[in-house]
Structure 1
């Protein structure tokens, strides 16, 4: 599969996965976290499909398209581990986390996601979801939407 086809497959999985997750958590109390902003495409989609939820964003730097910049009070700039600990200290509770911290190197991305898992877990409300392109630990893996291949995007329930 070409890298372009792989990108299309990833983007389709993200859209379908976010849409599915939004329907699953709309009745849950708790905020949403976009863990890794990048250029802001998935953040933009999250705010469209979950307009009633506060959406937090963590990233090391602001590189989003100007139309996809989160409000300053919802953007936590810095290392993800430090920002997640800050959220835990403040009592933030999350119904959904979209995890996208990877750099595209499978071994490094898997190690990072395993290290982040215990920092995400205390923030989650019961029944909350974590969706990710990288494997996480300590969460119950569940099937996502039928349109997403099991190996393309991962879905976890707390």
Structure 2
């Protein structure tokens, strides 16, 4: 498969997965957490599809498309461990988290997901969902929409 075809599969999986997750959290209270802003495409998608939810964003740098810059009060710049600890300290609770961090090195990405999982799980409301490109630990993995290859995107439900 070409890299372009692979990118199309990833973007389709993101759209289908985030749309599915947005429907699943109807009725839950809590904010949304975008872990990794990048260009801001998924942030923009979440903002459009969950207009009544506050979307908190964590990234090391702020470099999105100009139309996708989160409000200052919702963007947390720095290392994820520190930012997740700050969210916990303020009592933030998430109905949905989208884990989109990655270095492009599978072993490094998996290790980071395992390291950050214990900081994400306590932020989730009961029944809240985490949609992730990387495997996470300490949270129940569930089946997502059947349009997505289970190896492409992973889905988790907080207890």
TM over 0.5: yes
Instruction: Output the CA distance in 2 between the equivalents of 1:87 and 1:26.
Output: 22
Deviations 1:53-102 (A, max 9, x none): 00000001101000000000000011011000000000000000000111
Q: Counterpart in 2 of 1:3?
A: 3
Query: CA offset at residue 27 of structure 1?
Result: 1.1
CA contact 1:26–1:50 (8 Å) conserved in 2: no
Match of 2:53 in 1: 53
Q: Kindly report which structure 2 residues correspond to 1:16-31, keeping only aligned pairs within 5 A, or say none.
A: 16-31=16-31
Number of residues paired by the alignment?
158
Alignment match, 2:65: 65
Q: Secondary structure at the residue paired with 1:149?
A: coil
Q: Shift of residue 104 of structure 1? A: 1.4
* Equivalent in the alignment of 1:108: 108
CA RMSD of aligned residues (A): 0.5
Which 5+ residue runs of structure 1 have no aligned equivalent?
none
TM-score with structure 2 length normalisation? 0.98
Q: Normalized against structure 1, the TM-score is what?
A: 0.99
Task: Measure, in 1, the Cα distance between the counterparts of 2:16 and 2:72.
Answer: 28
Q: Deviations over 1:95-130 (max 9, x none)?
A: 000001111111000000000000001101000000
Q: Which runs of 4+ in 1 moved over 6 A?
A: none
Alignment gaps of 5+ in structure 2: none
